[in-house]
Structure 1
Amino acid sequence: MPLRHAVLGPRLRAASVIAACLAALSPAPAGAASDPPGHPSLQRQLDDFVHRSGGPPGAIALLRTEKGTRVVRAGVADVRTGRPPRPDDHMRVASTAKAFSGAVALTLVDHRVLRLDDTLRERLPQLPDAWGSVTLRQLLNHTSGLPDFSQSPGFLAVLRADPRHQFDSRRLLDYVAREPLRFEPGTQYRYSNSDNIAVALMAEAATGTPYEELLRKLVYAPLRLHSTSLPQGYRMPKPYLHGYDVSPPPPEDVSEVIGMSGVWASGGIVSTPADMTRFVRGYASGRLYGRRVVEQQRQWVEGASEPAGPGRNSAGLGIFRYETRCGVVLGHTGNTLGYTQLIAATPDGRRSLTFSVTSQVNESTDAEQLRRMRAVQENFVCALLRGKSE
């Protein structure tokens, strides 16, 4: 969920910046490509990424294979204390939270509580009739055409006036309720934060259970996620990776600037690198639901996550396919004020990468930094798929 700056003081930019950043997440043989001579180690690459001008204060990557977990980290988790990032540090996972709403919805599909062809008219008749034909499938692969509430003038005005405002998370779509669909459902791909709000509301309507409880029962418990939550406020649980605004220097801590009630199912989850590793291994492999649902989830359409992940991107149901020069991984990305995330795993879930940095990196904030980050991420994916421990 790409939330960025609001009007809070001399370091946080003019309110117009937030609008620009709220828009927004068969394998090749492993070893089919080779790295150039003198290819630097993963540690050197991450160090270089952090220490370049405009780089994040800290970064941590967890590479999990059949042989165990390797942690690569650079910079600091907190510029005040200088301590290094750790796998059990909390962080905002941003739009990788959309994979969690995908996990809930697809588990309910597997249980036959929901159907992928269920429409908003059937499940959420209180929403505008003009949106009625949109299906759960179209919400999950961002082909719904729903207008993005996080770009609406009304929502942005409230956020600018009070970045910690307590929104009614279940009424976020009200900000765009008078707007028509952006296109006929199923005819285009357009990443929208409204999609996953609607997914969570459909799950609640089908079960009569709050989304937060569905997360606990259907995702956290079976995947043994012990440090993952969906808060409403702005406080971070300790210990945590501090998120920073790095433009211009020196870095400013923005970890607790914005409340999470205004992003909810589209980007509000807080977790740790260790928990996100467990999550993506189970999610990418389809451990939460049966083969029938996995096959539906992996019907790909052209479209990139936000920010774009490594290699060539395509969109499935609550998941993205990243086709790198070394092979394919499945996962999701995300960015918000102070944080950027990538979670990815092989389709069998046996190898995974969690890649977290402590500043916001996307096309709007710094296109060149995004290019560099994607190149580093692809190199990490290649090392993961080849089983190297460089």
Structure 2
Amino acid sequence: MRRFAFVAVLLLAVSTPSGTVRAAELDARITRQLHTNAARYGIAGQAVLIRHNGTLLAQAVAGEADLTTHQPVTPETVFNTYSLAKLLVSALVMQRVEAGRVELDAPASRYLPDLPEAWQTITVRQFLNHASGVPEYFQYREGEVITSQGSLFPTTAAEVFKALAGAPLQFTPGTANRYTQTNYLVLTALLEAQYQQPYAQIVQDRVLRPLSMTHTSLGPATDVPHDITIAYIGKQGALRREDDIAWPSYAYGHAALHTTVGDLDRFLLALTRGELVGRATLQQLWQPQLLGNGRRSGFSTGWEFEESGEYRFVGHDGGTRVRARIAFTDGLAGDTYSFIYLTNGSAKNVWSRTLVDSTMAVVAPMQFPREALSERLITYALEPKTAARTTALKQWLITNGRGDQPMLEQDINRVGYAVAENLGHAAALPLFAFNATLFPRSANAWDSLAEMYAALGDVKQAKRLYARSKALAAAR
């Protein structure tokens, strides 16, 4: 069994609607949650930092940066943060919008005239929100990069755009979201055209140096002058080393960002204080955005966007390894939390959303009931099943005001599928059975339960439950 070293720093007491949580109590909760996550998902190393209204609530590190040398993670350990790099691009574009130098709803070709013909009418906002329809410029298969020009990246971004000129759009711009790195190649090139400087220099001058982010860099991990984590991926339930892609410099707007939990905290704190982009501008830009088909976009000016209760969430992930999130009400001058969760990989390849949700459940369960529910359900799925535990879960739902909420069935279903993906179908089965017990007239609840049995190879039970689901659907 790997031993995990924990360091936690808690400042002040935390005021919540349900009372004041003392620092020592929150310290114990956060430490327990990191232990829990490490044990559940096989996390190699992790670093967490949480703020509320600018006040540091918790900072904790756990595990190992390098499983071979057993180098522990410290608050100064550098992590590869992958697509969190896109948040820097978004902030820099928002600065240009605020300065009146870029219009979000103007075609990006106004600033980059040499974009492919089919891209000429795509707006800056559509590129930011992955609503452009442009194709991906590479594929990653079995540890190898495949581009239209073979296994080597083109020399320049202009060559990438030229190579994609004949490829059809994936959809009409503005009508859907499809996440591609190509979107941020365009935005990186736009910033370079605006400043007439290499992108790395723009970031250094306008973000890293002003915020004293001295442990942050763009480029290969081999160039990082500080202690850095080794990246791991889960293969057949075990951790295996995974070397990063040798990204060209034009890709630094979507990858190759190496930073610490403290430096990333400086970036988020500067944003929430209005130091990089004015709060009024952020309030205007971090709004729900609709696609052309009337559906809500999953992004808002490049940030993942969702709503949970009274809060709006903006943030981004780096796949299964890292995530940053800001939760706020009434604009950034209201109640505001920031959450940073960095890992260097897990045996289960747990999605970073699940990890951040678990810290939200610890720090502010009353403010974030959906996330508290998720953590409680995951705990139930993994503990020994007894009638008493099931009764306790039902009572917990009633006590926390969830027993009769119409979204409960959907929420349990959502968590069930997350557990199935991260921990296996056998672990998820009790959640779907519990949902069917709570909602016996729901065709969807029985259909999902049948799906779990089918995945586990119990064809007879799956067939019986599918039939029940169809009968309920037909009776509506």
Whether TM exceeds 0.5 here: the answer is: yes
Alpha-carbon distance in 1 for matches of 2:311, 2:322: 20
Structure 1 match to 2:46: 59
Give CA-to-partner distance per residue, 1:252-305, whole Å, 9 cap, x none: 333x442132742112211111111111222355431234532442122379xx
Instruction: Map 1:321-332 onto structure 2 (within 5 A).
Output: 321-324=305-308, 327-332=311-316
Structure 1 match to 2:186: 198
Structure 2 match to 1:156: 146
Structure 1 match to 2:356: 377
Q: In the alignment, is the contact (CA less than 8 A) between 2:79 and 2:343 conserved in 1?
A: no
Alpha-carbon distance in 1 for matches of 2:171, 2:147: 26
Q: 2:172 aligns with which of 167, 184, 187?
A: 184
Structure 2 match to 1:239: 227
Q: 1:43 aligns with which of 31, 43, 66?
A: 31
Larger deviation, residues 204-213 vs 339-348? 339-348
Q: 1:133 aligns with which of 101, 121, 127?
A: 121
Helix, strand or coil: the match of 2:345? coil
Structure 1 match to 2:344: 358
Q: CA 1:159 to 1:78, structure 2 compared with 1: closer, same or farther past 3 Å?
A: farther
Q: In the alignment, is the contact (CA less than 8 A) between 2:200 and 2:252 conserved in 1?
A: no
Q: In the alignment, is the contact (CA less than 8 A) between 1:143 and 1:185 conserved in 2?
A: yes
Q: In the alignment, is the contact (CA less than 8 A) between 2:271 and 2:277 conserved in 1?
A: no
Give CA-to-partner distance per residue, 1:204-228, whole Å, 9 cap, x none: 1122222112112222233332221
Alpha-carbon distance in 1 for matches of 2:101, 2:114: 20
The yes-or-no answer on 1:289 pairing with 2:268 is: no
Alpha-carbon distance in 1 for matches of 2:265, 2:165: 37
Alpha-carbon distance in 1 for matches of 2:148, 2:215: 30
Helix, strand or coil: the match of 1:77? strand
- The higher radius of gyration belongs to 2
Q: CA 1:88 to 1:67, structure 2 compared with 1: closer, same or farther past 3 Å?
A: same
Q: CA 1:358 to 1:233, structure 2 compared with 1: closer, same or farther past 3 Å?
A: closer
Q: In the alignment, is the contact (CA less than 8 A) between 2:216 and 2:263 conserved in 1?
A: yes
The structure richer in helix per residue is 2
Q: Which letter maps to 1:136?
A: V
Helix, strand or coil: the match of 1:329? strand
Alpha-carbon distance in 2 for matches of 1:51, 1:166: 42
The yes-or-no answer on 1:260 pairing with 2:247 is: yes
Structure 2 match to 1:344: 325
Alpha-carbon distance in 2 for matches of 1:93, 1:107: 22
Q: CA 1:152 to 1:81, structure 2 compared with 1: closer, same or farther past 3 Å?
A: closer
Alpha-carbon distance in 1 for matches of 2:218, 2:363: 30
Q: Which letter maps to 2:66?
A: D
Q: In the alignment, is the contact (CA less than 8 A) between 1:119 and 1:132 conserved in 2?
A: yes
Alpha-carbon distance in 1 for matches of 2:205, 2:56: 27
Q: 2:66 aligns with which of 71, 74, 78?
A: 78
Alpha-carbon distance in 2 for matches of 1:201, 1:191: 18
Alpha-carbon distance in 2 for matches of 1:126, 1:273: 38
Q: Which letter maps to 1:330?
A: V
Q: CA 1:313 to 1:111, structure 2 compared with 1: closer, same or farther past 3 Å?
A: closer
Larger deviation, residues 323-332 vs 272-281? 323-332
Alpha-carbon distance in 1 for matches of 2:221, 2:49: 28
Instruction: Specify every segment of 5 or more residues in structure 2 that has no aligned partner in the other structure, as ranges.
Output: 1-15, 19-25, 368-476
Instruction: Specify every segment of 5 or more residues in structure 1 that has no aligned partner in the other structure, as ranges.
Output: 1-29, 33-38, 304-311
How much does 1:99 deviate? Answer: 0.6
Larger deviation, residues 279-288 vs 74-83? 279-288
Q: Which letter maps to 2:136?
A: D
Alpha-carbon distance in 1 for matches of 2:17, 2:136: 41
Alpha-carbon distance in 2 for matches of 1:181, 1:325: 36
Q: Which letter maps to 1:301?
A: Q
Alpha-carbon distance in 1 for matches of 2:324, 2:148: 31
Larger deviation, residues 127-136 vs 315-324? 315-324
- CA RMSD of superposed structures (Å): 3.5
How much does 1:355 deviate? Answer: 0.1
How much does 1:170 deviate? Answer: 5.5
How much does 1:194 deviate? Answer: 0.9
The yes-or-no answer on 1:319 pairing with 2:306 is: no
How much does 1:115 deviate? Answer: 1.6
TM-score, with length taken from structure 2: 0.61
Q: CA 1:235 to 1:224, structure 2 compared with 1: closer, same or farther past 3 Å?
A: closer
Structure 1 match to 2:430: none
TM-score, with length taken from structure 1: 0.73
How much does 1:155 deviate? Answer: 5.8
Q: In the alignment, is the contact (CA less than 8 A) between 1:56 and 1:244 conserved in 2?
A: no
Alpha-carbon distance in 1 for matches of 2:262, 2:150: 33
Q: In the alignment, is the contact (CA less than 8 A) between 1:284 and 1:331 conserved in 2?
A: no
Give CA-to-partner distance per residue, 1:189-208, whole Å, 9 cap, x none: 22121111111111111222
Q: Which has the higher contact order (CA 8 A, sep 6+)?
A: 1
Alpha-carbon distance in 2 for matches of 1:86, 1:313: 37
Q: 1:229 aligns with which of 217, 225, 240?
A: 217
Structure 1 match to 2:3: none
Q: CA 1:285 to 1:151, structure 2 compared with 1: closer, same or farther past 3 Å?
A: farther
Q: In the alignment, is the contact (CA less than 8 A) between 2:272 and 2:279 conserved in 1?
A: no
- Give the percent of matched residue pairs that are identical in Structure 1 and Structure 2: 24
